[in-house]
Amino acid sequence: MSGPRAEIIAIGDELLHGSAIDTNSSWLSQQLEALGVHVDRFTVVGDEPGAFEVALRGARDRVELVVSTGGLGPTEDDRTRHEAAAVAGVGLRFDPDSWEWIGEWFAARGRVLSEDNRRQALVPDGGAALRNDFGTAPGLAMDLGSARFYALPGVPSEMRGMFGAQVQPDLAARFAGRLRPVVHRTLNVLGPTEAALGARIADLMSAVDGDVRVGVTAHFGLLRVRIAAHGHDVAEAERLADAAADEVRPRLGDELVYEGDLDLAGRLVEQLRHLGLTVATAESCTGGLVARALTDQPGSSAVFPGGLVCYSNESKVRDLGVSPQDLERDGAVSEAVAGQLARGVAERFGADIGIGITGIAGPDGGSADKPVGTVWFGLHLRDGGTRTWERRIAPVNRSFVRERASFEALAAVLRALRADG
């Protein structure tokens, strides 16, 4: 018997207008899939009367499980309860327990409870309120025909807390015996094109085994081979996922940079912290993208003492000791300059590792010898000297060249750590 299928409905004008991003649906999808629920569709609707009702009617007829977020507040445009009752063909009742929960929340914070909040204590007949220990809006659980429906608040912290406390246990009991947990493995690759990588693992991607799925996603040249394995329990799912990863790994060779769901900078910071090492950055064409990626990560202050954006030739000479003669002879985008940037920034910040980047991001500035997309890299290791290499990045646009170059720099440091470790 297959696992239950689900749809997620996010409610709010702000989601449609783009002033807020719907992160709730992606988070819920991950949680549901991990449990063994197949998510078929995301739907976003505004606060217009009737919009949620239409979406809910459609979802009820298609799947066994519907989860909504938003529309549970105290104002007139919060209609989730009313429109869920309309879909069920029932009325609304006042729930004293919900009113008590709301009152406790306000009292604990020294705030005055308004009569407008009584709207949040309404529950469709036949439904059950879900206690919210994280905010003022109780949730809702009810059956709509053959579908189970849960309404959760739109505030992410409230939604996540209530899902774990209220929804997940109910799902586990309701669909016991049908839930097949899912385990993921992610292999992160830098180098080949998506088409070339896909050709290497085409047989695995097209395999008809319903328990294991293999796919490839791309982002600025970093490719992710994603494996999803279903099992009767977590142990079986892990065994299937590991077996699939064992098949994929040899086909990736040195282009496999790391494994796991952390982004590239996050994994690098993790490894640097583990090894007790530091890295400094000297960036020209990337304009600080590598430093930004590193400092976006929690704990980066322990591994990143600093970096410089040395865009002009004068800055390269003055701040990092690049040779004026080499600049004059070879130009800023050259092997000599990349190596000196890496060594100079490591010495300036006392870092164990220095990375230097200089290139032509475009759209102008290229030549026959150095077309747009030419990037030179330097990597200096305190105990391993300096090495340099060139990449010709497809000049899709300026942003692509810069982002792709920053990925190459981060991956180079991570590979160096792996080689030394």
For residues 324 and 333, give the distance between their C-alpha atoms in angstroms, rounded to a whole number: 13
Residues 11-31: tens digit of each pLDDT: 999 999 999 999 999 999 999
What CATH number should be reported for the domain holding residue 350? 3.90.950.20
pTM: 0.80
| Cβ atoms of 42 and 8 closer than 8 Å | yes
> Are 112 and 220 members of one domain?
no
Q: Which amino acid is at 322?
A: V
> Are 80 and 38 members of one domain?
yes
| β-pair type (5-11, 65-69) | parallel
Element (H, E) at 341: helix 335-349
Q: Residue 365's pLDDT is what?
A: 93
Q: Give the rounded distance of the alpha carbon of 245 from its chain centre.
A: 21
Q: Which domain holds residue 194?
A: 182-259
> Are 151 and 219 members of one domain?
no
Pull the structure tokens for residue 321: 């000791």
Q: Residue 176's pLDDT is what?
A: 87
Q: Say if residue 363 is preceded by a cis peptide, omega within 30 of 0.
A: yes
> Are 23 and 150 members of one domain?
yes
For residues 274 and 260, give the distance between their C-alpha atoms in angstroms, rounded to a whole number: 16
> Are 204 and 94 members of one domain?
no
For residues 295 and 269, give the distance between their C-alpha atoms in angstroms, rounded to a whole number: 9
Report how many domains make up the chain: 3
Given a cut of 90, whether residue 421 has pLDDT beyond it is no
Residues 131-160: tens digit of each pLDDT: 999 999 999 999 999 999 999 999 999 999
Contacts of 358 (CB under 8 A, 6+ apart): 284, 285, 332, 333, 334, 337, 338, 341, 375, 376
What CATH number should be reported for the domain holding residue 208? 3.30.70.2860
> Are 162 and 204 members of one domain?
no
For residues 394 and 401, give the distance between their C-alpha atoms in angstroms, rounded to a whole number: 7
Angle at 52 between CA 50 and CA 56, to 5 degrees: 120
Q: Residue 220's pLDDT is what?
A: 66
Q: Residue 208's pLDDT is what?
A: 66
For residues 62 and 82, give the distance between their C-alpha atoms in angstroms, rounded to a whole number: 21
For residues 257 and 186, give the distance between their C-alpha atoms in angstroms, rounded to a whole number: 11
DSSP E strand boundaries for 22-169: 38-45, 65-69, 92-94, 122-124, 128-130, 139-144, 147-152
Contacts of 64 (CB under 8 A, 6+ apart): 4, 5, 6, 146, 147, 148
> Of 174-178, 258-262, 354-358, 362-366, which one has max mean pLDDT?
354-358
Sheet with 374-381, edge to edge strand ranges: 306-309, 279-283, 353-359, 374-381, 385-392
* Residue 408 DSSP label: H
Given a cut of 90, whether residue 383 has pLDDT beyond it is no
Given a cut of 90, whether residue 360 has pLDDT beyond it is yes
DSSP E strand boundaries for 262-373: 279-283, 306-309, 353-359
For residues 29 and 7, give the distance between their C-alpha atoms in angstroms, rounded to a whole number: 9
Q: Confidence band (pLDDT; 50, 70, 90) for 1? A: very low
> Which of residues 114, 143, 174 is at a domain's end?
174
For residues 269 and 272, give the distance between their C-alpha atoms in angstroms, rounded to a whole number: 5
> Are 129 and 240 members of one domain?
no
Could you tell me the CA-to-CA distances from 156 to 17, 51, 145, 201, 294 in Å, in that order? 18, 22, 28, 37, 26
Q: Confidence band (pLDDT; 50, 70, 90) for 207? A: confident
Q: Residue 209's pLDDT is what?
A: 67
Pull the structure tokens for residue 398: 């300026």
Averaged pLDDT of the chain = 94
Q: Which amino acid is at 253?
A: G
> Are 229 and 367 members of one domain?
no
Average pLDDT, stretch 359-379?
96
Q: Residue 62's pLDDT is what?
A: 97
For residues 108 and 112, give the distance between their C-alpha atoms in angstroms, rounded to a whole number: 10
> Are 248 and 156 members of one domain?
no
> Are 15 and 126 members of one domain?
yes
Q: Residue 177's pLDDT is what?
A: 84
> Are 281 and 235 members of one domain?
no
What CATH number should be reported for the domain holding residue 46? 3.40.980.10
Average pLDDT, stretch 276-304?
98
Pull the structure tokens for residue 75: 């104002």
